[in-house]
Structure 1
Amino acid sequence: MRDGYLIDLAERLRARGLPADRVETTVTDLAAHLEESGAEDAEAEFGPADEFAAQLVPAAGERAPRTPDKTVETWRWTADTYVDEELLNRFGDEGWEVERVDALGRFVSHRDVAQPQRWEYRRELITRGRENLDERLAPDGWEACGTWIVYAWFKRPRAASLGPAARVESPPPVPERSRFFSRKFHVLLGVLALAVAAAGVSVAVDDGEASSGLGFVVGLVAGVVAVAGVMGALHMWRGRRP
Structure 2
Amino acid sequence: MKAQQPQHAQQSTNARYAQDGYLIELAERLRAQGLPADRVEATVTDLAAHLEESGAEDAEAEFGPVEEFAAQLVPATGERAPQAPDERVETWRWTADTYVDEELLNRFGDEGWEVERVDALGRFVSHRDVAQPQRWEYRRELVTRGREDLDERLAPDGWELCGEWIVYAWYKRPKAASIGPAARLTSTPPAPARSRFFSRKFYALLAVLAAAVAVAGAAVAADENDAASGAGFAAGLLTGAAAVVALAWGVSRWRGRRG
Shorter-chain TM-score above 0.5: yes
Q: Do 1:201 and 1:219's aligned partners in 2 also have CA atoms closer than 8 Å?
A: no
Q: How far did 1:68 drift?
A: 4.4
CA deviations 1:96-149 (Å, max 9, x no partner) are 000000000000000000110100000000010000000000000000000000
Q: Structure 1 CA distance, aligned partners of 2:192 and 2:117?
A: 18
Alignment partner of 1:74 is 2:91: yes
Q: Structure 2 CA distance, aligned partners of 1:70 and 1:77?
A: 20
Q: Do 1:92 and 1:118's aligned partners in 2 also have CA atoms closer than 8 Å?
A: yes
Q: How far did 1:192 drift?
A: 0.2
Instruction: State the AA in 1 paired with 2:173.
Output: R
Alignment partner of 1:143 is 2:191: no
Instruction: State the AA in 2 paired with 1:182.
Output: S
In structure 1, the residue matched to 2:107 is: 90
Corresponding residue SS for 1:77: strand
Corresponding residue SS for 1:192: helix
Q: Do 1:93 and 1:119's aligned partners in 2 also have CA atoms closer than 8 Å?
A: yes
Normalising by structure 1, we get a TM-score of: 0.61
Corresponding residue SS for 1:33: coil
Alignment partner of 1:32 is 2:80: yes
1:152-231 matches, within 5 Å, as 152-207=169-224, 209=225, 215=226, 222=231
Q: How far did 1:155 drift?
A: 0.2
Instruction: Name stretches of at least 5 consecutive residues in structure 1 with no aligned partner.
Output: 1-27, 38-66, 210-214, 230-242
Instruction: State the AA in 2 paired with 1:139.
Output: P
**RMSD over aligned Cα atoms:** 2.6
Q: Structure 2 CA distance, aligned partners of 1:124 and 1:73?
A: 27
Q: How far did 1:168 drift?
A: 1.3
Q: Structure 1 CA distance, aligned partners of 2:182 and 2:111?
A: 12
Normalising by structure 2, we get a TM-score of: 0.57
Identity %: 76
Alignment partner of 1:122 is 2:139: yes
Q: How far did 1:219 drift?
A: 7.3
Q: Do 1:202 and 1:219's aligned partners in 2 also have CA atoms closer than 8 Å?
A: no
Greater relative contact order (Cα < 8 A, sep 6+):
2
Q: Structure 2 CA distance, aligned partners of 1:96 and 1:68?
A: 16
Instruction: State the AA in 2 paired with 1:187.
Output: A
Q: Once superposed, which parts of structure 1, at least 4 consecutive aligned residues long, lie more than 2 Å away? A: 31-34
Instruction: Name stretches of at least 5 consecutive residues in structure 2 with no aligned partner.
Output: 1-76, 239-259
Q: How far did 1:199 drift?
A: 1.0
Aligned residues: 160
